[in-house]
Amino acid sequence: MTAQHGWTSTVPALTGLGLARSFGGHQAVAHADIALYSGRIIGLVGPNGAGKTTLLLMLAGLLAPDRGELLLAGAPADPKSLRAHIGWMPDVFGTWESLTPREILTAFGRLHGADKATADRRAVELLHQVHLVEFTDHPASGLSRGQKQRLGLARALVNRPQIILLDEPASGMDPRSRIELRSQLRALADAGAAVVISSHILSELEEMVDDVVMMTGGATRGTPATAAPRWRIRLVGQPADQASYIDLPDDESAAKHLAGLVAQGTPIADFSRVTSGLEQAYLDLDADRT
């Protein structure tokens, strides 16, 4: 996980306490506690069916909890005030296919109370930010899955939110877009936003988050103790399936271990990290495959 950046606040920008939500006889979230701080990025991690999307929808003011409390900057929050302060990006961005990206973003700007000219300027600004300016006035039906994800991020930022909730934001993005997404989210956090990212791409998530909340069986768990990453060592001439493995706590320890092997004359062909601490923490959840 990243080191602490930029700006922080002692009062959470958004807090969820004891949140629960059922659908008929199915309890999607049994008990969830989460605190979002300005200037920090939280990774929300867990298997499919753990209740992550339901939790995000409650935080976004789009789904009422059956019980529990939502606090905005420490004060009780109603759905309308949550929606005004939050930017929400679902895992699938349903577009109005006949409209252009500019028209879609302008419409959402108007829904947030901006006049037509202001909403249009914001739309053009965001299309530049997410590198979709060449598609500004073309029907959204022609966008690829990854391009629609970028448009979804732009839509989430229309109201200049200080709390940003993203559900699998990198799904369908090409590698360059994923790199740009990481940079954009880090910049937003450094400017004071509180960001939550739900993602299954744990290696990428670990590179950008400050904190982690694990979720399984409809309940949140505290930030896990980060397990030591595992490193793979293969000697020159050694078949790949005979490589050895070692757990080392961090990059510095790995570098020292490698230097020691080289100093001893050990012919190293491959020395590489094969698991991250976050991946190991996820495996330690012992959650069912889904």
Is it the case that residue 228 has pLDDT exceeding 80? no
111's CB contacts (< 8 A; 6+ apart) are none
Taking only the tens place, the pLDDT of each residue in 53-70 is 999 999 999 999 999 999
For domain 14-221, give the fold. Answer: Rossmann fold (3.40.50)
Q: Which helix (H) or strand (E) holds 32?
A: strand 26-36
The mean pLDDT value of the chain amounts to: 88
* 173 φ, ψ (degrees, to nearest 5): -80, 145
- The confidence score (pLDDT) of residue 9 equals 58
Three-state SS at 187: helix
* Residues 139-190 pLDDT 10s: 988 888 888 989 999 999 999 999 999 999 988 888 888 888 888 999 999 9
Q: What are the backbone dihedrals phi and psi of residue 6, each rounded to the nearest 5 degrees, phi first?
A: 40, -110
Q: What is the pLDDT of residue 224?
A: 56
104-139 pLDDT, tens digit each: 999 999 999 999 999 999 999 999 999 999 999 999
Give the total residue count for the chain: 290
What per-residue confidence (pLDDT) applies to 173? 84
Among 34-38, 55-59, 203-207, 241-245, where is mean pLDDT lowest? Answer: 203-207
**Which pTM value belongs to this model?**
0.80
The domain spans of the chain are 14-221, 230-284
pLDDT class for 6, splitting at 50, 70, 90? very low
Is the predicted pLDDT of residue 227 greater than 70, yes or no?
Answer: no
